[in-house]
Amino acid sequence: MKADRILGNIEQWKVAFERALTAKNPEGLKSLLTEVSYFRDHGALTWDLRQFHGRDAVVATLLAVVDEIKPHSFKVSAKWPAPQISGAGEEALIEAFFDFETAHGRAEAYVHCKLDPTSQIGIRAYAIFTRLEGLKDVVLPEGHPRDQGYTPNFSGELWRENRDTARQFINHDPEVLIVGAGQAGMIPAAYLNQMGVSTLLVDRNERVGDNWYKRYGQLNLHNPVEMNGFPFLPFPKHYPEYLPKDLIGDWLDTYAQYLDLNIWTSTSFKGAQYDEAAQCWTATLQMKDGSERVMRPRHIILATGGIGGKPNVPSLKGLESFKGKVVHSTQYNKAADYGAKKAIVVGCGASGHDISVDLYRAGVAVTMLQRDPIVVNHIDTANLAYIDYINPALPTELVDFRYGINMISPMREAGSRKYHQFAKARDAELLKGLEAAGMRLNDGFEGMGWFDLFLRFGGGYYLNKCTSEIIVEGGIKVEQIANVDTFASAGAQRIDGSVLEADLVVLATGYQNRQVEVAEWFGNDVAERVGKIAVLDTDGEWANVWGQTGQQGLWFNGGGINQVRSYSERLTLLIKADLSGHIPKGFRRPPKNSSEKAVCDSARSVG
């Protein structure tokens, strides 16, 4: 199909879509969608991160929000690639990007259409992804947000004196308090600064970057550097493909200084209570000297962990009788710290593998104690799942946008199953060797492989850089925990009575759900209002991360750096919209423990 014809089809579809939407014409909207169709929104139409599956649900949602949101002025985007077709026959897919406006903002849409000769237009939309791009009452600076210099508090005040005073928040409170000064805290802080929102980051560590510096020495990112860039400041070209943890720590310090972020280190968040009448928090911070500071921010972002916060320490029979050293992976740095000769590593996820290979290289006899089957792929195979990120011809921002539509749950699940079968075949020799070495493997949840496990559980897989080959060759042993009866003074006692001797046990057993942190800091009621965090919800979104939660004024950020980069912009736009009074009550996410429904939920239930 020629480009001009594709553009003509898309133009016709756009006009018909806006007309049907404005007229609130359900049949008109249905005629523009395939019977199996999907809609995902990031803030543009629902003031939240939501997705809807099935034509009736999509139409009902669009009709429910149109009066309040007022989407209008749709036009084919000049910023993104022109409409184009890929594939052939029934697999043919047309992609198109649109700009549009709403009552309070500017938004973009990314649409997948299928050819349909039964449609008057010749195409129908299969999937729609919309996202908020800006607010009409926010004008972002073209350069640095402080490019106009500073206003001295007294004659002769130097810039450094001015900034040091401002960072103390002596006579005012920040509008947003961010707990955690890693990438999940700094990136939203940078966006909020651009929007003119007063923001303070607090971190219990002594130095910016300690959340990476203090992790185990073998830690490197498992995805390529092209995926992990930060907004406003690109990585230098000489950075390695897989970033080591200390380099990421260095980068965070550089980023904080370049973006001139307000950060208090050696500061612990002790908890907060929400004032419904004043719509703000009363938050208590413990300073380095032990004194406390009370602040009243309108919003709090918890950026305290990628997926989980507090270590998960399992109850292992007899472990209290073990005479050697027991540490959780969060406490482990390097083998030399322990002087061990024999070690047991409980857990076969990424940290279990990394710690095992560190011990092995230090001459320690290592046995991994496997609790559950896992998915394993070579890291090069895993990288093929997001190969567009390492294509120099594709801007990262474009890949992020396209990524958004592919995360619609039924589409993602189908793609994950197809990819996993490919990956499993590609790595068949490795997987056969691992099974022969005693490792139990599986296909993940319902055959969807490692990436689905990341979203669903935050673990249960390993992307191999080198450790699997050592296991296959017998350098690192694998034992099943089902063969262990109890831990004893000398190690793990097997069911047959023999003992797997050790003088060090490392619990590479992951983290608890961040809901535990919420209960400790905000109370059980708030934890119940919010629910589980960073697990797939019933629609297929990552629950409570980046979007609204069941507790007004409380937000969560986390995930991989590529997720934090992309989603933080939407998170901060939603916070700014709330500060500006744009989010009506009917569009607020109801508490998890209530029977309330948001406008789009009520519509979908009858759609």
Which residue type is seen at 189?
A: A
- pLDDT on residue 602: 62
312-370 pLDDT, tens digit each: 999 999 999 999 999 999 899 899 999 999 999 999 999 999 999 999 999 999 999 99
> What average pLDDT score do residues 203-211 get?
94
Q: What is the pLDDT of residues 394-427, one digit of tens each?
A: 999 999 999 999 999 999 999 999 999 999 999 9
- How far apart (Å, rounded) are the C-alpha atoms in residues 41 and 586? 16
User: Does the pLDDT at position 606 exceed 80?
Assistant: no
Given this chain, do its domains 3-135 and 313-509 carry the same CATH topology? no
- CATH fold of 313-509 reads FAD/NAD(P)-binding domain (3.50.50)
Segment 454-508, tens digit of pLDDT: 999 888 999 998 899 999 999 999 999 999 999 999 999 999 999 999 999 999 9
Mean pLDDT score across all residues of the chain: 93
State the DSSP string of 395-453.
-HHHHHHHHHHHTSHHHHHHHHHHHHHHHHHHTHHHHHHHHHTT--B---GGG-HHHHH
CB-based contacts of 410, cutoff 8 Å, min separation 6: 38, 53, 540
Q: Which CATH number does 171-308+512-579 carry?
A: 3.50.50.60
Between 145 and 315, the more confident residue is 315
Q: Which of 4-18, 46-60, 590-604 has the lowest mean pLDDT?
A: 590-604
Burial class from Cβ neighbours inside 10 Å (0-12, 13-18, 19+) for residue 172 reads exposed
Q: What share of the chain is helix, strand, coil (3-state, %, to 5)?
A: 35, 25, 40
Structure tokens at 418: 């197809």
Annotated domain spans of the chain: 3-135, 171-308+512-579, 313-509
Compute the distance between CA of residue 277 and CA of residue 284 in angstroms, rounded to an integer: 19
**pLDDT single digits (tens) 533-569:** 998 998 899 999 999 999 999 999 998 898 999 999 9
65 with 45: CB under 8 angstroms? yes
Q: Which CATH class name applies to 3-135? A: alpha beta
Q: Which residues pair with 157 in a beta bridge?
A: none
378 by DSSP, 3-state: which? strand
